[in-house]
Amino acid sequence: MKRNFRYQRAILASSLQIARDRMTGKGRTLTAARIVLRICPDFLSRIERPSLVVAVVQASHDPSCRDLIADLLGGSGTVVYANDGDGADSVVDLFLRGKKKKRDQKAALIINLDAAEGDKVLPYLKPDLVVVGGLSLADSAFNEDMQLVSLRKLTDRIDAKGKVLLLGDDVETVFMAPHSKRVLYSVARMEGEGSDHIPLSEDRKTCPVCGKKLAYEYTRFGRLGKAQCPSCGFETPQADYVGVPDLEARAIALKGVSYWLLRDDLYGAYTETAAIAAALELGVDSAQIRGILKDMDTLSEGEE
Ligand SMILES: [Zn+2]
């Protein structure tokens, strides 16, 4: 960790900006963090790295997967720091705010990142686990394609150091992060699911191996599902973690253990499968995860 002249200048400029924000009554803004990134783009490689870094990289702005991973790690006794937002500036801001000052051996940084911002953070923080493909619910095929392009570009460059947890129900994500140790998660087929919703994106209609038309056994959200290629035999691979939800019973089973399902829809099942898989990969015990989710469920019922 080398603290060079640019780093010192960035810290000084950000302190001045923080004081200015305070004096003008603006409170805390992200301006100081943006100034840091402009002066010292590799700032995040010059700070004291937390002992565990997890990044949730996704196309949607939904923070629920990041939040749930933070809850599961926090509940198991780790001190968790999470960014507020999904830009590189929100990550830098965490360190400027001094939230990460303590030299806590068990501290973990759990960040949510927009796919387009990944390059400003991942090469410097080198996460231990990157969770990719928190379900995107883009409103058009064009936006969907743009998001996929940034995810693909980003994951192509993730170096092999950490593990990458990928959405295994999407023919577009199963090949991402080719240079990393890849772990796939999936949500099992639900009763009554057919193949009537053809994927929005052209890329998902064709085989990623030979380019011929894919046949879907079932589809969901117009983008996910299980596909086979009649021409070359490619099929959606078997995932390492398969969530089997029972929406009525508010339960989801993973590797033979049943957990409380916090949100009784498929979208919630994806978020929870990804978060539980991430926690298990990080070494949290399944009994502990079960207890934390049960407590969270009781808490949310109490609020209603
Ligand atoms: Zn094929």
Same domain, 78 and 109: yes
- At 147, list the tokens: 């998001």
Same domain, 15 and 148: no
Same domain, 27 and 60: no
Q: What spacing in Å lies between the alpha carbon of 243 and ligand 1's midpoint? A: 27
Q: Which residues contact 16 (CB under 8 A, 6 or more apart)?
A: none
For the chain, residues with pLDDT lower than 50 are 304
Q: What spacing in Å lies between the alpha carbon of 217 and ligand 1's midpoint? A: 15
Q: What spacing in Å lies between the alpha carbon of 68 and ligand 1's midpoint? A: 36
Same domain, 36 and 65: no
Same domain, 30 and 90: no
Q: What spacing in Å lies between the alpha carbon of 150 and ligand 1's midpoint? A: 24
Same domain, 292 and 176: yes
Same domain, 103 and 29: no
Same domain, 129 and 6: no
Same domain, 2 and 94: no
Is the CB of residue 208 less than 8 Å from the CB of residue 224?
Answer: no
Question: Is the Cα dihedral 56, 58, 63, 69 positive or negative?
Answer: negative
Element (H, E) at 157: helix 141-157
Query: Which residues span the domain enclosing 32?
Result: 1-46
10 Å CB burial of residue 90 (0-12, 13-18, 19+) is buried
Helices (H), 175-285: 202-205, 266-281
Domain count, the chain: 2
**Per-residue pLDDT tens digits for 167-219:** 899 888 888 888 889 999 999 999 888 877 776 677 788 898 999 999 999 98
pLDDT number for residue 160: 60
Burial 249-278 (b: 16+ CB within 10 A, else e): eeebebeeeebbbbbeebebbbbbbbbbbb
Pairing verdict, β 224-228 and 215-220: antiparallel
pLDDT number for residue 135: 56
Q: What spacing in Å lies between the alpha carbon of 213 and ligand 1's midpoint? A: 8
Q: What spacing in Å lies between the alpha carbon of 215 and ligand 1's midpoint? A: 10
Neighbours of 190 (CB within 10 A): 14
**Per-residue pLDDT tens digits for 250-263:** 999 999 999 999 99
pTM of the model: 0.90
d(CA 257, CA 129): 23
Q: What spacing in Å lies between the alpha carbon of 214 and ligand 1's midpoint? A: 7
Q: What spacing in Å lies between the alpha carbon of 152 and ligand 1's midpoint? A: 20
Distance between terminal CA atoms of the chain? 48
d(CA 38, CA 61): 24
Q: What spacing in Å lies between the alpha carbon of 226 and ligand 1's midpoint? A: 14
**Per-residue pLDDT tens digits for 126-137:** 899 999 865 555
Same domain, 24 and 59: no
Q: What spacing in Å lies between the alpha carbon of 205 and ligand 1's midpoint? A: 11
Element (H, E) at 302: helix 286-303
Amino acid at 24: T
Q: How far is CA 4 from CA 42, 48, 124, 243, in A?
A: 11, 14, 15, 47
Same domain, 131 and 204: yes
Q: What spacing in Å lies between the alpha carbon of 143 and ligand 1's midpoint? A: 25
Q: How far is CA 124 from CA 97, 102, 120, in A?
A: 19, 20, 8
Q: What spacing in Å lies between the alpha carbon of 30 and ligand 1's midpoint? A: 47
Same domain, 151 and 172: yes
Is the CB of residue 126 less than 8 Å from the CB of residue 53?
Answer: yes
In this structure, what CATH number is given to the domain that contains residue 110? Answer: 3.40.1190.10
